[in-house]
Structure 1
């Protein structure tokens, strides 16, 4: 099977199997000076050290000519690497040939080369001539064409992406050299400007896999397993070779390979290895050519990677946290190793795998073990990391305190032998506050663990007496604010009811206080008992309208009117009652009005006469 450059160029293709080491390379050198010119007979084009015109070529580390793409050569790692730069002749034809010697007869080879169109997209007013190269392999007599293939048209794209093209051929009996030729399929002019680099020849053979009976393509073991050996089988796909000869090799760096004496079959029992070792086999159709690197190919590489036992992780230290927090235990180990956490120095239970950090809030000692990321190869010891969890200070529940208006209160964290940080900025156990609100205190113990207590301070306002009124024989006290108020007529005995019933008329001092003993307010009040009605029916019960309490005044006058304002009664200090008559006549049931002037105080209102 060949990998094709593109589907329309089926004659070009890569070796579908394994290849040998390169037997011929041409990278055209490096340096900032153009040249040297190719050997005589290599090309009919003219060599120049300046800008190549049509039919010219140069060997240069720059492609910065005309409006061409400016790019580096293809060879990896080159400094000022050079490439073969061609400005195609006006006439299509051959522009490069060279002989490749030292080949083996009856052997399949792969020729390859990297190529790029130097014209940017849209050049030559969109009419740029595309690059189109034919690769040919001729026998050494230059009479027998062994293989050829065309790249097809490669338009200018404006990218600096080199593309590789390959051609597979087979030498004939007694043939040990070939002639490589490159031809332009297009005429020169505006376009058809190209660069070529890294021409390579190498043998091509079967695709040869190497695996164990378990179909392992590689093996990774821990060095504590001691000497390791594997039984390997090379399996060619017979896509190129009709028969197979082998020579197994081993290497410690994949650069220098050493033949393993006597190992010339498809199966290899590897030597016992204690360090990483690589194995492959050279393979040809004929045993005579197996050690000729111009003729053989090499299989896939099977590596036995011996992983060293990792050192135990290094700790970042023990961790201390407070109850309720999470502690982050951490260790360090090179990136080639993972970390597993256990609950015991040996054996025990796996807590967390493949993580250098362990987050937990449970106190105890945890053990970190390093392990290879490639295979089970653990450190011989585990690193202990201890998490200490300190308790929080025990604080009382949040509480409510009461502050008397225009006073202060002392609030207490109620925790001793700690430090304190109040929301007010104070740092003592107890503080005085003069305003209502929420006060937080952060209590911190000697281990640096903190708890918060909140004390809500509510202000108790002094009562504000709104009004005091007489309601018949009752005194009713109304406040303009609310609270758990108590009321008293003597300042000694207090009641929760704001109504004093059956009180004789007279002067009184009204006392109002909050039941939390936050202070008392007082107000003088004259209680005049005015009947709401009287019944002058001669039964001696409530027969007279007679206000109670006027005796405390020096001068009293009383006037009684009907609803029309007619004066029915006028009396003074010695005559303040009324029997419900006018000029000896009994008046009907109705509402009547009074006006009382007592010293400098005036009282007025109405009452009912009922028969």
Structure 2
């Protein structure tokens, strides 16, 4: 519901009413105080209160030749400060205009402070000040809210621009009624034995009470459109009323006869059709559109006259408080929603006999891993949900129906998990890829910078989820080590899932990728740097055919590119590095058997 609906207070005219002209001119304006004024229709404009003027605010002369046409006048006085508005409800096929004057004297009305003369080509059901109670925020038939203070007098002219009309109702609204629900309008302007007109609901019984001290006799009359008629047999001080009409009482006393009239209007009593429960799949943050249930609740009732609100408790629905937003943020689970259907004309006419269940069925959330390794030396692994929801069902591509399954080889395994209720099934699907985790294999060791502290990168020949460690340092996921001293080191590579481990001794040394012994004093000799960190190192240099050309040790100055005193051609050459390991054995360093280029 719109904001203004929470502060809506219904007001009703006071004074004699009939189904023809209600008030012939401003001087006989009907005072408004409480409940809803219902006008049975206006015919004729009475005296011209504008003395032949062509305009008054937005109002212009009509086919009557004057500003007033099928008009009615009302007056009210404010009793408090705040925001005030009103709604003039009418048949959507008719064209009603209004002008509101802040004045206490019909002879000095001035210009209207609010005025609307737009035609009703869009067939709206309301015009007025503030907000359209149907929630239409685009209507041109509404003027801005009033900011009022206590003791202000207003006159309201309502004009019917149609040749035929079926009457109207007036509802007052605004925030002023939050702080001042009973004295927002000053009721001291009203004086009537039977009180103000009464807005009731169909099926109610209204008791009219004319009890007067010293009364000798009571006579009751009603007018349903053809004049007042005596109600036979009704001569008590009270009268039970169940039908619309204008009612009159004549009270005979020893001194005089008192005559008092009151209008009683019965608004249709809304009903709520049987409501179906709703079950739907809930995913993430979800909004449920409650307006989708409006037509179901209303049935054949006119949505322009009867509205629907939804509540989380029967007490809230009965009181018409705390309505749920039509875009309702649902949490997973089951919730009872209570339905209130009510009359816009008289919100006191309502029905709260129906409710329905909103079952937000949770769509399964699958949290298990999509990628699962399996050890090549122990090819059995459990995949799927290890903490299953007992309400869910599971269907694997293998045909198994358990939350988790054991598989004995690599492959893709798909499971569909279903949560179902009331014929609705909410499903989630996930594919688990099982890959064999191999023992790590080193392809090469890349040494950068050729400095005392080197950067070393481990290049693997296979892929996996591995961790790396040099000597006794911590394990790391990166294959790159920095600040590595030259010499022999213990490299450990292990699978993170415990499938395998490789321990190798590696040698960190540096060498030129090419050299050029051409006499320019730049890169004249090729050598391996960092040999001094090894025990008895020997570097053996070969040509492409495997012929040994030169051997270097830690004291060698390097190779000048000659063999037996003769310069060798520019091409690629290979080398191996051997040293004495910790067990006293001569061994070849792995992963650094490589080649370099001689350039001329």
TM-score w.r.t. length of structure 1: 0.34
Structure whose residues are more often helix by fraction: 2
Structure showing greater Rg: 1
